[in-house]
Amino acid sequence: MVLTRPAALDAALRQCTRAPREALCRNATQRIPYTARVQRRWASDGSRPPMPPGSPGPSRVVAPKTRLAVGVVFIGSLIYSMATGDKPPSAESEPRGGVQAEGPTIAERDNLSKRESGVTPSSPMRLRMEAFIKENQQEIVRTLEALDGNRFVVDKWDRPHGGGGISCVLQEGNVFEKAGVNTSVVYGTLPRQAISKMRANHKALDPDVESLEFFAAGLSLVLHPHNPMAPTVHLNYRYFETANADGTTNAWWFGGGTDLTPNYLFDEDVIHFHRNIKEACDAHDKDYYARFKKWCDEYFYVKHRGESRGVGGIFFDDLDETEKDQESLFAFVQSCMGSFLPSYLPIIQKRKDMPWTEREKQWQQLRRGRYVEFNLVHDRGTAFGLSTPGARVESILMSLPLTARWQYQHEPEKGSREDRLLNVLRKPVEWV
């Protein structure tokens, strides 16, 4: 067996050899009993040592070489602790059964990679997705600030176990009552129970492990305008990955989408919004738009109200290697993200300064109540965020409006614009 001493230990031993009269080595020598020093010489030259007067008869030393090795490690760690002031490693911290200590986490690997090489096209998808969402966050925030005339409050935060996020929030602006554009990067560990549940959609997950490291990154956006004639809009694109013990990817998938929630219907606005999304989808797969629009209509459904949250858009989740290769799906997400500003900006610019009445404002508040109900009762993203250890609640609940209203047994007048909206929400429309 080859024993490898730490560099600090080597330095301490050399210091003792070169200067045996220094206090450190003198104290270390004084702590070793005479019999131990004699036995150490015996182990080195093979001869039996003379017994001190009054000592018991000779006894057989069991496993002398093993004891020698243990003694060297113990004394070495003692010298190391005296030289450095650190505690020597305990038995609990040492690897058992000859197994080496655990390697770095994926968070540590990623931080090292970013420091040494930055983010390149050959970097892991984790780092590329993180860079992508942060770039888009900056672009969207700059555009909305120019539209509103007010600045977002930028709140950066870190997670103890790796990752963090940037929450950009604007409240009581000129155009937006509340607007949030958040990025989050989360590193953590999935327990066996969570892995078992996820295997329903991801067979690549190993069912025999007790835990897996995971990475999640996404951009989430919700804009609530002041004007009842201007629609609320939501966007979220994300990437999730689990890692093996050696840092290699175990399983991965993309998810996300965007949808429009008007208080008053302007058909031309909804058609424009859907057309832009369809063009982004068609560039990658002609079946995507119809498939993901249906998914959106079904997902953003307020079951206890019997109506959709809004007029839809697209929604997808769990897109992994069974759908397409990783690069193709990343390119698809990039196209969807790129279509957001062209799909929403013309609408908000057209509606933000329209006249409105107090009755129309109250209707907007009621519709926001429905928005809150869906997010808190049915939304999977909110549930996942709130159940994640160390989650940042303020960022998760950023999607909720600044004000909302719940009025007992409110029913709109038959044939009114409000009534027309409810009819559309109860039966989804094909807009393009």
CB–CB of 406/369 below 8 Å? yes
| Residue 73 near residue 3, CB atoms below 8 Å | yes
Q: Is 224 a catalytic residue?
A: no
Q: Name the active-site residue from 202, 224, 226, 234.
A: 234
Task: Report residue 2 as tokens.
Answer: 């080859």
Q: Give CA separation, 80 vs 7, 13, 75, 89, in Å.
A: 10, 9, 8, 10
CA-to-CA distance for 254 and 202, rounded, in angstroms?
Answer: 12
Q: Are 68 and 41 in contact (CB under 8 A)?
A: no
For residue 18, what are its two tokens?
């070169």
**DSSP assignment letter at 284:** T
> Do residues 229 and 408 make contact, with C-beta atoms less than 8 angstroms apart?
no
Q: How many CA atoms lie within 13 A of 236 on its CB side?
A: 23
Positive or negative, the CA dihedral 402, 383, 343, 140 is positive
Is there a contact between 133 and 218 (Cβ–Cβ < 8 Å)?
Answer: yes
Residue 356, token pair as written in the block: 């409105």
Spatial strand order of the sheet with 232-243 comes to 153-158, 163-171, 176-191, 211-225, 232-243, 249-261, 312-319
Determine the Cα–Cα distance for residues 218 and 255; give it in Å rounded to an integer.
9
Give the active site residues: 234
